[in-house]
C-alpha cells in the first residue's frame, strides 16, 4: 500500500451545530492551553456568488479584527472529476479600498451570480501545528433577523503521526 503524505498546509474542515453557550466553554479551554501562540478575533460580512459549474466566489470585508480596510475576493473551483470540495483550486485576491459595488459588478462580468450573504464572528486560536476556530455565523441574505448557526473549524498546518 502506497503512503501518501499530506502537504505542509493541509486544511481539514468540519462543521457542527452547537449550543450557543459552548463558545464560553470553548474559550475557557483554549485560553488555558499553555501552547497557545496567538488569539485573534475577526468579524464581518461575506457575500457569496456562484456559477452553474459549481465554482463560487466570496467577497470578505471584515469590520473588526484585521484593520486597515483589508478585504479580499476568494474564488474556489473544483477540478474536473472532483466528487467533493476537499480537492479544489482556491485563489485569494486582496481588494483593499475597492468599492463593494465594483466588486459585485466585476464578479457579475466574470459570470457569477449573487447567492447569499452571512455575518461571521471568528475566534481563532493558533498553535504551532494547528489552528482552531470557533465561528458564529448569521445568515443575512434576506435582511430579516439573522438565523444563528455555530460552526467549529479545525485547520491543520502540519500533521505528525507518532508510532
The answer, yes or no, to whether residue 76 has pLDDT greater than 60, is yes
Could you state, in order of their start, the residue ranges of all structural domains in the chain?
22-156
pLDDT bucket at 142, cuts 50 / 70 / 90: confident
- Asked if residue 156 has pLDDT above 50, the reply is no
Give me the DSSP letters along 62-125. EEESS-TT--EEEEEEPPTT--SSSS-EEEEEE-TT--HHHHHHHHHHTT-EEEEEEEEEEEEE
Query: What's the confidence (pLDDT) of residue 150?
Result: 46
Check: pTM over 0.85? Answer yes or no.
no
Q: CATH second-level architecture of 22-156? A: Beta Barrel (2.40)
- With cut-offs at 50, 70 and 90, classify the pLDDT of residue 146: low
Amino acid at each position: 500500500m502506497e503512503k501518501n503524505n499530506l502537504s505542509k498546509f493541509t486544511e481539514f474542515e468540519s462543521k457542527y451545530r452547537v449550543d450557543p453557550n459552548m463558545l464560553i466553554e470553548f474559550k475557557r479551554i483554549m485560553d488555558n492551553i499553555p501552547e497557545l501562540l496567538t488569539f485573534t478575533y475577526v468579524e464581518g460580512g461575506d457575500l457569496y456568488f456562484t456559477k452553474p459549474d459549481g465554482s463560487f466566489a466570496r467577497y470578505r470585508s471584515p469590520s473588526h479584527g484585521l484593520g486597515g480596510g483589508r478585504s479580499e475576493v476568494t474564488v474556489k473551483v473544483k477540478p474536473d472529476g472532483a466528487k467533493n470540495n476537499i480537492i479544489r483550486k482556491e485563489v485569494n485576491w486582496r481588494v483593499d479600498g475597492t468599492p463593494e459595488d465594483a466588486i459585485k459588478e466585476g464578479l457579475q462580468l466574470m459570470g457569477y451570480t449573487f447567492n447569499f450573504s452571512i455575518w461571521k464572528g471568528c475566534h481563532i486560536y493558533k498553535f504551532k501545528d494547528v489552528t482552531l476556530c470557533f465561528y458564529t455565523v448569521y445568515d443575512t441574505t434576506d435582511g430579516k433577523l439573522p438565523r444563528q448557526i455555530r460552526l467549529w473549524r479545525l485547520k491543520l498546518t502540519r500533521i505528525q503521526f507518532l508510532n
